[in-house]
Amino acid sequence: MKNRVSIISAEKIGVEVAVRKAIDLAGGLPELIAPHSRVLIKPNLCRPEASGTGVTTDCRVIEAVTRLVLELNPKSVIIGEGAGAGYDFSGSTSTEEAFRVSGTADVAARLGVELCNFNDDEWEEVSVKNPYIMDRVKIARTALHSDVIISLPVLKTHLRTLITLSLKNTKGILPGAEKRKTHALGLDKAIADLNSVVKPSYVVVDALAGMQGLWAYPQDRVEPGLILAGREPCAVDTVGTHLMGFNSSQVMHLQYFAARQRQKADLQHIDVVGEPLDEHIMNFKSGWDVFRARYPGVHIIEGESACSGCMGELMGALTAVREFSGGEALSELTVILGNARRDEVPKTEKTVVLGKCARRLAHLGLFARGCPPMCEDIIRIICSATGSDADMVIASLNQERNRRWEDTKHLLAR
Can you give the binding site for ligand SF4, defined by CB under 6 A?
85, 180, 183, 305-307, 309-310, 337-338, 355-357, 371-372
Phi, psi of 148 (to 5 degrees): -135, 125
User: Between residues 306 and 382, which has the closer beta carbon with respect to ligand SF4?
Assistant: 306
> For residue 337, what are the β-bridge partners?
302, 354
Residues 96 and 184: their CA atoms lie apart, in Å, by: 26
Tell the smallest beta-carbon distance from residue 86 to ligand SF4 (Å). 6
Residues 114 and 104: their CA atoms lie apart, in Å, by: 11
User: Between residues 287 and 355, which has the closer beta carbon with respect to ligand SF4?
Assistant: 355
Tell the smallest beta-carbon distance from residue 107 to ligand SF4 (Å). 30
How remote is the C-alpha of 33 from its chain's centroid?
26
Tell the smallest beta-carbon distance from residue 303 to ligand SF4 (Å). 8
Per DSSP (E only), the strands in 72-223 are 76-81, 114-117, 123-127, 136-140, 148-152, 154-158, 162-164, 202-211, 221-222
Tell the smallest beta-carbon distance from residue 181 to ligand SF4 (Å). 9
User: Between residues 41 and 306, which has the closer beta carbon with respect to ligand SF4?
Assistant: 306
Tell the smallest beta-carbon distance from residue 253 to ligand SF4 (Å). 18
Picking from 264, 262, 274, the residue whose alpha carbon sits closest to that of residue 229 is 274
Residues 6 and 19: their CA atoms lie apart, in Å, by: 10
User: Between residues 200 and 338, which has the closer beta carbon with respect to ligand SF4?
Assistant: 338
User: Between residues 80 and 338, which has the closer beta carbon with respect to ligand SF4?
Assistant: 338
Residues 321 and 333: their CA atoms lie apart, in Å, by: 12
Tell the smallest beta-carbon distance from residue 370 to ligand SF4 (Å). 7
Tell the smallest beta-carbon distance from residue 184 to ligand SF4 (Å). 6
| Cis check: omega of the bond before 218, within 30 degrees of 0 | yes
Tell the smallest beta-carbon distance from residue 127 to ligand SF4 (Å). 24
User: Between residues 155 and 357, which has the closer beta carbon with respect to ligand SF4?
Assistant: 357
Tell the smallest beta-carbon distance from residue 159 to ligand SF4 (Å). 12
User: Between residues 32 and 335, which has the closer beta carbon with respect to ligand SF4?
Assistant: 335
Tell the smallest beta-carbon distance from residue 408 to ligand SF4 (Å). 28
Residues 154 and 227: their CA atoms lie apart, in Å, by: 10
Buried b (16+ CB within 10 A) or exposed e, 269-281: bbebbbbebeebe
> SS3 for 85?
coil
User: Between residues 184 and 411, which has the closer beta carbon with respect to ligand SF4?
Assistant: 184
Residues 143 and 198: their CA atoms lie apart, in Å, by: 8
> For residue 26, what are the β-bridge partners?
none
CA geometry: angle at 232 spanning 56 and 72, to 5°? 75
CA geometry: angle at 140 spanning 134 and 146, to 5°? 105
Residues 169 and 61: their CA atoms lie apart, in Å, by: 15
CA-based radius of gyration for the chain: 21
Yes or no: say if 34 and 204 are a contact pair by the CB < 8 Å rule. no
CA geometry: angle at 292 spanning 288 and 293, to 5°? 115
Residues 290 and 239: their CA atoms lie apart, in Å, by: 23
User: Between residues 29 and 310, which has the closer beta carbon with respect to ligand SF4?
Assistant: 310
User: Between residues 324 and 367, which has the closer beta carbon with respect to ligand SF4?
Assistant: 367
